[in-house]
Amino acid sequence: MFSPEGALDKNMKVLVVDDFSTMRRIIKNLLRDLGFTNISEADDGNTALPMLKDGNFDFVVTDWNMPGMQGIDLLKAIRADSNLSHIPVLMVTAEAKKEQIIMAAQAGVNGYIVKPFTAATLNTKLDKIFERLG
Amino acid sequence: MSTKTNVHISLEQAKLLVEYIESDQQTKANELIAEIQSPINSELFEEIGKLTRQLHDSLNNFQIDERLNDLATADIPDAKERLNFVISHTEEAANKTMDAVEAIFPVVDGIQKQISTVNPLWQKLMHNDLDVVEFKALCQDIDVLLKTTEKESSKIHRLMTDVLMAQDFQDLTGQVIRKVIDLVREVEESLIYMLTAFGMSSEKNKSDQLPKVGENLVEGPIINSENRQDVVSGQDDVDDLLSSLGF
């Protein structure tokens, strides 16, 4: 569904990080609809990081504004850890300041979606991320 | 005041002062000095007096204003509770809706599956290209399809009613939020009154300051993006910005 060759592994391990369980549920449903089945959840960066460290995750979808460790700091931590730095990170957030988007880009985000978003946007961004990664 | 520091005393006053000091009448001497300086002091004292009265009145008014006390001790904690009610009710509504939707997905998928089972033979029938054996099979498939669709559509109908009923939060949370807005307005008025009473102009600081941002510039959802230059107004803006950065 994401690449013409259908090369994308839908069994890849995805971690959805958001402090609101309803948003995690929405994203999980959308991802499931796109064929992803192996999805875990975390409610902030502090919960996510240890999961990533011993979880063999292939992809992270994270919110920005969360109590505890924020999404941008989680992104920085992922990029700073040589075992995790290869994991693509998609940010799905209500944070809409240009300065923040630039901050995220400089920190090495792979995609940035502003809330409220649509299923089509999520689909397009996923496509793009994995197309680029080849 | 600098001009008044050069006030000269008259010879008469000077003599009197010396006389007071020599006769050890310190109090009188002090009074005389105060009198000599009085053009400065009377203004100053008058002004201090005025300010003191104002301050006194203001403080008294605050003590009288029990409403302010009520706001702090009762209304604001109550508002916090109300807002928590909004969070829990919207969350509950979102979950109820998603429960129903998640239950509908497999039902619809099942019907879709059966339709695609029926479809090839149906197409053959439509093109007069169906033998008797296939026709029997088609009848079987259609029979199954009709029965499941009938059963499942009433299930979908019930779940859709659940989705409908889950939206009743809007009425309740709307009323609650409206009350909180009234409270915020009242607190705002009290604060403005306080500023005015202490002689600070609320207008002076009313410049279009941005709301305070947290760590990492976190601000949450932007509700007035059309009035802001520093924020994106949607996904297209994000994409444009990122592509301008070489993304």
Let me know if residue A134 belongs to a domain: no
How much is the CA Rg of chain A, to the nearest whole Å?
14
And the tokens for B147? Answer: 């029965």
Cα gap B54→B164, rounded to integer Å: 59
Instruction: Out of A49-53, B55-59, B103-107, pick the least confident.
Output: B55-59
> Which of A94, A98, A102 is opposite residue B220, by nearest beta carbon?
A94
- At residue A71, the 3 state secondary structure works out as helix
Let me know if residue A8 belongs to a domain: no
Cα gap A13→A59, rounded to integer Å: 6
User: Nearest-CA residue of chain B relative to A122?
Assistant: B235
Mean residue pLDDT of chain A comes to 92
Instruction: Tell me whether residues A114 and B98 touch, CB distance under 8 A.
Output: no
Instruction: Tell me whether residues B221 and A100 touch, CB distance under 8 A.
Output: no
Same domain, B97 and B189: yes
Same domain, B53 and B153: no
Same domain, B165 and B186: yes
How far, in whole angstroms, is CA A88 from its chain's centroid? 7
- Judged against a pLDDT cut of 90, whether residue B38 lies above it is answered with no
- At residue B73, the 3 state secondary structure works out as helix
Instruction: Out of A23-37, A74-88, B95-109, B212-226, pick the least confident.
Output: B212-226
Same domain, B74 and B57: no
pLDDT bucket at B2, cuts 50 / 70 / 90: very low
Cα gap A92→A24, rounded to integer Å: 11
Let me know if residue B14 belongs to a domain: yes
pLDDT bucket at B202, cuts 50 / 70 / 90: low
The number of distinct structural domains making up chain A is: 1
Whole-complex ipTM: 0.86
Let me know if residue A112 belongs to a domain: yes
Let me know if residue B186 belongs to a domain: yes
pLDDT bucket at B211, cuts 50 / 70 / 90: low
User: Nearest-CA residue of chain A relative to B97?
Assistant: A22
Instruction: Out of B2-16, B45-59, B93-107, pick the least confident.
Output: B2-16
pLDDT bucket at A20, cuts 50 / 70 / 90: very high
Report the CATH number that the domain containing residue B187 is assigned in CATH. Answer: 1.10.287.500
Instruction: Tell me whether residues B95 and A97 touch, CB distance under 8 A.
Output: no
Angle, helices A21-33/A119-133, rounded to nearest 10 degrees = 70
Write down the residue that tokens 């090369």 correspond to.
Answer: A7
Report the CATH number that the domain containing residue A111 is assigned in CATH. Answer: 3.40.50.2300
pLDDT bucket at B28, cuts 50 / 70 / 90: confident
Residue numbers of the domain that contains B40: 7-63
- Judged against a pLDDT cut of 80, whether residue B68 lies above it is answered with no
Q: Give residue A111's pLDDT.
A: 96
Same domain, B13 and B87: no
Let me know if residue B207 belongs to a domain: no
Let me know if residue A76 belongs to a domain: yes
Cα gap A111→A2, rounded to integer Å: 15
Q: Give residue B1's pLDDT.
A: 44
pLDDT bucket at A23, cuts 50 / 70 / 90: very high
Let me know if residue A79 belongs to a domain: yes
Q: Is the dihedral of CA A91, A92, A94, A98 positive or negative?
A: positive
Let me know if residue B229 belongs to a domain: no
- Judged against a pLDDT cut of 60, whether residue B41 lies above it is answered with yes
Instruction: Tell me whether residues A100 and B216 touch, CB distance under 8 A.
Output: yes
Neighbours of B28 (CB within 10 A): 15
Same domain, B75 and B187: yes
Same domain, B16 and B80: no
**What is the percentage of chain B residues whose pLDDT exceeds 90?**
46
Residues of B in contact with A39 (CB under 8 A): none
Digit-coded pLDDT (tens) for A45-93? 999 999 999 989 999 999 999 999 999 999 999 999 999 999 999 999 9
Digit-coded pLDDT (tens) for B136-186? 999 999 999 999 999 999 999 999 999 999 999 999 999 999 999 999 998
Mean residue pLDDT of chain B comes to 85
Which distant-in-sequence residues (6+ apart) come within 8 Å of B242 by Cβ? A101, A105, A112
The number of distinct structural domains making up chain B is: 2
* b/e burial code for range B127-157 (CB count within 10 A of at least 16 → b): eeebeeeeeeebeebbeebeeeeeebeeebe
- Judged against a pLDDT cut of 80, whether residue A4 lies above it is answered with no
Q: Is the Cβ–Cβ distance between A96 and B225 less than 8 Å?
A: yes
Let me know if residue B146 belongs to a domain: yes
Instruction: Tell me whether residues A114 and B230 touch, CB distance under 8 A.
Output: no
Same domain, B50 and B79: no
User: Nearest-CA residue of chain A relative to B246?
Assistant: A105
Same domain, B51 and B28: yes
Same domain, B91 and B22: no
Element (H, E) at A17: strand A14-17
Residue numbers of the domain that contains A60: 14-127
